[in-house]
Amino acid sequence: MSGMAASSVAVEHIPRSGVWLAKVVPWIAVAALPLALPGYEPLATQVFVMILFALSLDLLVGFAGIVTLGHAGLFGIGGYTAGILSVHGFTDPLLTALCAMVTAAITGLIFGIAMLRTKGLTLLMLTMASAFLLYEIANKATGLTGGEDGLQGVSFAPVFGLFAFDFRGKTAFFYTLAILFLAFAFLRALIKSPFGWSLRGIRENDARMAAIGCPIILRRLIVYVIASAFAGLAGALQAQSTQFVALYSLSFELSGNVLIMLILGGSGRLYGSFVGVPMFMLAQDLLAKQDPANWFLGQGTILIGMVMLAPGGILGVCQRGVAVIRARRRA
Amino acid sequence: MTTITTILFFGVAYGMILYLISVGLSVTMGLMNFVNLAHGVFAMLGGYATVTFMNRYGVPFLAAVAIGCILVAALGFVLERALYRRLYGRSELDQVLFSFGLILVAVAIVRIAWGPLAQPMRLPDYLKGQVEIFNVTLPAYRLVLVGFGTAVIGGLWCVFDRTLFGARIRAAVDNRAMAQATGINTSRLFAVAFGLGTGLAALGGGLGADILAIAPAYPLQYIVYFLIVVAVGGLGNIKGPFIAALAIGLADTACRYFVPEAGSIFIFAFVFLILIWQPRGIVARR
Q: Taking the mean position of all CA atoms in its chain, how far away is CA B91?
A: 24
> Contact B224/A140, CB-based, under 8 Å?
no
Q: Where are the alpha helices (DSSP H) in A59-169?
A: 71-87, 93-115, 120-140, 142-145
**Which strand (E) or helix (H) includes residue B133?**
strand B130-133
Q: How confident is the model at residue A19 (pLDDT cuts 50, 70, 90)?
A: low
Q: Greater confidence, A233 or A169?
A: A233
Helices (H), A154-271: 170-192, 194-204, 206-211, 216-242, 252-265
Say if the Cβ atoms of B100 and A126 lie within 8 Å. no
Mutate to test the interface with A, among B88, B100, B259 (most CBs of A within 10 A): B100
Contact assignment for A140 to B231 by CB distance below 8 Å? no
Domain membership flag for residue A201: yes
Contact (CB, 8 A) for B178 and B18:
no
d(CA B279, CA B276): 6
Q: How far is A122 from chain B (nearest CA, A)?
A: 6
Which residues of chain A have a CB within 8 Å of the CB of B263?
136, 139-140
d(CA A72, CA A55): 13
Chain A residues inside the 8 Å CB shell of B103: 300
In chain B the domains, ranked by start, together with CATH numbers, are: 3-277 (1.10.3470)
Question: Which residue in chain A is spatially nearest to B231 when comparing CA positions?
Answer: A122
Residue-wise pLDDT for A106-137, tens only, equals 999 999 998 898 888 888 889 998 999 999 89
Of B196, B108, B128, nearest in space to B159 by CA: B196
Instruction: Provide the 10 A C-beta neighbour count for residue A242.
Output: 19
pLDDT at A105: 97
Structural domain includes residue A327: no
A-chain CB neighbours of B97 within 8 Å are: 259-260, 263, 303, 306-307
Tell me the count of A-B CB pairs closer than 8 A.
Answer: 149
Residue A32 has a pLDDT of: 74
pLDDT score for A28: 77
Q: What is the pLDDT of residue B180?
A: 87
The number of domains in chain A is 1
**What pTM, to 2 d.p., does this model score?**
0.87
The DSSP code for A158 is P
pLDDT band at residue A179 using 50, 70 and 90 as cut-offs: very high
Structure confidence at residue B284 (pLDDT): 64
Nearest-CA distance from B129 to chain A in Å? 33
Average pLDDT over residues A178-186: 93
Residue from A185, A243, A232 nearest A42 by CA: A243
What residues in B contact A140, CB-CB < 8 Å? 261-263, 265
Answer with the residue of higher pLDDT: A101 or B174.
A101
What residue in A sits closest to B97 (Cα-Cα)? A303
Name the residue facing B94 among A120, A140, A311 (closest C-beta).
Answer: A311
| A88 located within any domain | yes
| B275 contact residues in A (CB cutoff 8 A) | 118, 122, 125-126
Of B188, B196, B132, nearest to B160 by C-alpha is B196
Task: Find the closest chain B residue to A125 by CA distance.
Answer: B227
- In terms of CA atoms, which chain B residue is nearest residue A261? B97
**pLDDT over threshold 90, residue A51:** yes
Q: Is the pLDDT of residue A8 over 50?
A: no
Residue A108's domain comprises 38-286
Q: B-chain residues within 8 Å CB-CB of A6?
A: 89, 91
Q: What local confidence, expressed as pLDDT, does residue B286 receive?
A: 45
Domain assignment present for A115: yes
CA dist B85 → A70, B21, B93, B124, B219 (Å): 27, 21, 16, 40, 21
Residue-level pLDDT at A21: 66
Yes or no, beta carbons of B105 and A300 under 8 Å apart? yes
* Nearest CB neighbour to A4, from listed B92, B224, B230: B92
| Out of B87, B261, B275, closest to residue A118 by CB | B275
Spell out the per-residue pLDDT of chain B, length 286, in tens. 578 888 888 899 999 999 999 988 888 888 888 888 999 999 999 999 999 999 888 888 889 999 999 999 999 999 999 988 888 888 888 899 999 999 999 999 999 999 888 888 877 777 777 777 776 777 888 888 888 888 888 998 898 888 988 888 888 888 888 888 988 888 888 899 999 999 999 999 999 888 888 989 898 888 889 999 998 888 878 888 999 999 999 988 888 888 887 777 888 888 888 888 887 777 765 4
End-to-end CA distance of chain A: 37
The arithmetic mean of pLDDT across residues A293-313, rounded, is 85
Q: Are the beta carbons of A133 and B272 separated by less than 8 Å?
A: yes
User: Mind telling me how many Å the CA of A195 is from chain B's nearest CA?
Assistant: 23
A chain contacts of residue B265, beta-carbon cutoff 8 Å: 133, 136-137, 140
| Contact (CB, 8 A) for B78 and B192 | no
User: A72-89, pLDDT tens digit by residue?
Assistant: 999 999 999 999 999 888
Q: Which residue of B has its CA nearest to A116?
A: B276
Q: Kindly provide the ipTM of the predicted complex, given to two decimals.
A: 0.84
Count of beta carbons in the 10 Å neighbourhood of residue B169? 27
Give the per-residue pLDDT at A56.
95
Cα distances from A241 to residues A97, A167, A181, A254, B5, in angstroms, run 12, 10, 17, 18, 52
In a domain, A68, yes or no: yes
What is the pLDDT, as a whole number, of residue A114? Answer: 87
Tell me which of A255, A296, A301 to substitute to probe the interface with B (most B C-beta atoms closer than 10 Å). A296
For B173-212, the pLDDT digits (tens) are 888 888 889 888 888 888 999 999 999 999 999 998 888 8
Residue A99: inside a domain, yes or no?
yes
Identity of the amino acid at A205: N
Domain assignment present for A194: yes
Compare CB distances from B98 to A125, A129, A307 and report the shortest one's residue: A307
CB contact under 8 A, B230 and A304: no
Residue B282, pLDDT score: 78
A259 falls within a domain: yes
Which pLDDT score is estimated for A3? 39
Q: Do B220 and A252 touch (CB under 8 A)?
A: yes
CATH number of the domain encompassing residue A165: 1.10.3470
